Amino acid sequence: MLKHRGFPGRLPGTDFQFVIRRANPKGVTRIVVRERFRDRSPADRRADAGFMAALWDHFGTEPFERGNLDAGRLSWLFGREVVPAEDPFDPESYAALLRIDEEKARAAFPEVFEGAR
């Protein structure tokens, strides 16, 4: 499992995790599409925005390997702002390639992209 050096471990000042420390010995956690409802808490929304900002700062528009990125946090963005970068895509692989759909990410998280390229 690739460890993304320099990637923040969590949202500062919270327990919202962005990366995992080690591979799951029972098997890889599957990335799924999770519905984001309008009534999500402000803290959850900040965590999504913080994670998107970290992804954008670390990878930009380039494809990236899932590696040690938290599957639960990825699932909140998967299928919308973060999409598969390979076909076929294996949602249960640490080596799976993903990429940011910049247009959708800018629409969903304008605060992340203010002043960005």
User: What would the pLDDT profile of 44-102 be if each residue is shown by its tens digit?
Assistant: 999 999 999 999 999 999 999 999 999 999 999 999 999 999 999 999 999 999 999 99
Report the Cα 58 to chain-centroid distance in Å: 11
Sign of CA dihedral 19, 23, 29, 33: positive
> What's the pLDDT tens digit per position in 27-45?
899 999 999 888 889 999 9
Model pTM above 0.85: yes
Q: What is the Cα–Cα distance from 104 to 75, expressed in whole angstroms?
A: 15
